[in-house]
Structure 1
Amino acid sequence: MGDKLKEAVEKIFQPLAKLLIKAEITYGEASDLLKVALVKTASEKLSQSNEQITDTRIHLITGVHRKDVRRIKEGEDSTPHTQSNGPITSQAFAKWLGDTRFQNSDGDPRPLCKKSSGTQEGFEELINSISKDVRPKAVLDEMLSRKMVVVNTRGLIEPSLENIIANQPADDAAKYLGMNIHDHLEVAVNNLSDTADKQLERCAHYFGLSESAAQELENFSKEIGMTALLKINEKAQALIRDPKNHGNWDTNFGVYSYKSKQATKKDAK
């Protein structure tokens, strides 16, 4: 591994270390998690190359002791893990924001009746279009309790966009953290390889700014980032409505904005 790549890995570990400390995950536990990831990834690599998967080969590739390799392999769940579509509340918001059946003429999410009214579909139809295994009233009660929606003076249900993320359950937030960081790293790592199938991974970064300029750029990034996410969601909802577009592929488009104060010699003391 080159020095620059080592520096990159060390930089990746820094926010991960913050997460481990916050979650009270010790070095020993983190080391075990890393061993599992190394063994599973090495096994997948050998399998894709149609090579024999042995404890010795995995040990030579990863440096993980053979007894640990054997323990990890024996403890693997043979049942295939399926990717869930996420909480039904999140799916409901995505459809509400992007499906024309639940939007007004301006393309904004339309306040919904509890049931369909005339030609307009209501909240019950929104939930039933996602799953008929859960009662719409139960979903509504959950969304009301988390202040994700409000009932206005006309008795219509409106989304409370500012509370979607703020009141997200810890387990849901952890799931999206794992998914988003995993997917971003997968793209970045794969793009380092000599492959023609490079995926989108770009950034615009600037140094030496004033605090006010950095804040202005962050605010602008949030504005155009949310616009991009809403446009992607509208396109996805239109595709999903056609059964011929259903299959076993996943896609993830994300945005983030990060700002920090550069450390000075005085700060470092």
Structure 2
Amino acid sequence: MHSPAPPASLLHALRRVMRPLVRLMLRKGVTYTYFSDMLKGIFVEIAATEFRLGDKAPSDSRISLITGVHRKDVRRLREAAPESDVHLPEALSLGAHLVSIWMSRPPFCEHPGRPLPLPRLASTGGECSFDALVAQASKDIRARVVLDEWLRLGIACLDEQDRVHLQTTAFVPQKGFDEKAAYFSHNVHDHACAAVHNLTTDARPFFERSVHYDTLSPASVETLRDAVAAEGMQALMNFNALAAKLEAGDRAAAVESPQRITIGLYFYTEPGAEPAPVGGEP
């Protein structure tokens, strides 16, 4: 018995989706051999957890049949330690939470979306200080530790009055490859999950829309880039304020089975094809 061939349109889409990932791997020294073995592990993991027959765990033979991975490799990979989950590392989650508080809650912001510069020490700024901000999220970590890390990552800066300024309106490190890689993992994973859900199920689709043009001048692209940076960020800040308000109510109500969400926005440009001539033959 042979499995039906996958749709040609899907294979074409997968080749295109993989190109930027392969580009990243080659730039960072990830060889085909290493990636191939890692990919085997992912095939085995997904088959073992999501392609069960009822409550019964699939056998090595069944996983081998489904995935095409040799049974000896299936056994080896199933015995290996599982990879960590897709959630952001604790330090980044704490940082994102602090940025959300800073941008949305008085006295740390002038109004939602307009964070204030904060005196570094509580002895100077009291309840409107960076010390007080960190205390809102954790009593177990010193504000100076957070600040030093944010200074390293380019998220915050200190002025001559010893006030802390937020350098970005979302917690996206400007420096630090490991931290950027964590957000790459989180954002691309969740975007791909939404797209796969929409492509493979009849359930209510996740919102996933984009606009695209292919004959814009560099000047027009810059105009659009600036508009996305301003208006797109404002939209995300509005969603952030709504999510923070809803989360506070949900925590007070002690809701069961809490869920996580990701709301994203992106902009990309690259050279396009030459536009077709207008008004007749070239």
Q: How many residues align?
A: 263
Q: TM-score under structure 2 normalisation? A: 0.82
For 1:142 and 1:36, how far apart are their aligned partners in 2? 34
Q: One-letter code of the match for 1:102?
A: F
* Alpha carbons of structure 1 residues 81 and 177: separation in structure 2 relative to 1, 3 Å: closer
Gaps of 5+ in 2: 1-5, 275-282
Per-residue displacement from partner, 1:67-102 (whole Å, max 9, x unpaired)?
Answer: 11110101134x985834552333322221222341
Q: Is contact 1:146-1:167 (8 Å) kept?
A: yes
Q: One-letter code of the match for 1:244?
A: A
- What CA RMSD, in Å, does the superposition of the two structures yield over aligned residues? 2.7
Residue 260 of structure 1: aligned partner: 270
2:252 counterpart of 1:244: yes
Cα deviation for residue 178 of structure 1 reads: 0.8
For residue 35 of structure 2, the aligned residue among 10, 30, 48 is 30
For 1:152 and 1:118, how far apart are their aligned partners in 2? 15
Residue 101 of structure 2: aligned partner: 95
The 5 Å alignment of 1:60-139 reads 60-77=65-82, 81=85, 83=87, 84-87=89-92, 88-105=94-111, 107-113=113-119, 114-115=121-122, 120-139=127-146
For 2:269 and 2:25, how far apart are their aligned partners in 1? 22
* Alpha carbons of structure 1 residues 81 and 262: separation in structure 2 relative to 1, 3 Å: closer
For 2:51 and 2:171, how far apart are their aligned partners in 1? 42
The 5 Å alignment of 1:1-269 reads 1-47=6-52, 49-77=54-82, 81=85, 83=87, 84-87=89-92, 88-105=94-111, 107-113=113-119, 114-115=121-122, 120-161=127-168, 165=172, 167-242=174-249, 243-244=251-252, 248-263=258-273
Q: One-letter code of the match for 1:190?
A: H
* Alpha carbons of structure 1 residues 86 and 199: separation in structure 2 relative to 1, 3 Å: farther
Identity %: 30
* Alpha carbons of structure 1 residues 119 and 139: separation in structure 2 relative to 1, 3 Å: closer
Q: Secondary structure at the match of 1:100?
A: coil
Cα deviation for residue 3 of structure 1 reads: 1.2
For 1:206 and 1:258, how far apart are their aligned partners in 2? 11
Q: Secondary structure at the match of 1:157?
A: strand
Q: Is contact 1:98-1:235 (8 Å) kept?
A: no
Cα deviation for residue 187 of structure 1 reads: 0.7
Cα deviation for residue 39 of structure 1 reads: 0.7
For 2:46 and 2:66, how far apart are their aligned partners in 1? 10
Per-residue displacement from partner, 1:42-88 (whole Å, max 9, x unpaired)?
Answer: 111224843441111111111111111110101134x9858345523
Cα deviation for residue 153 of structure 1 reads: 4.3
Q: Is contact 1:111-1:157 (8 Å) kept?
A: yes
Per-residue displacement from partner, 1:181-209 (whole Å, max 9, x unpaired)?
Answer: 11111110111123222111111111222
Cα deviation for residue 119 of structure 1 reads: 7.9
* Alpha carbons of structure 1 residues 146 and 184: separation in structure 2 relative to 1, 3 Å: closer
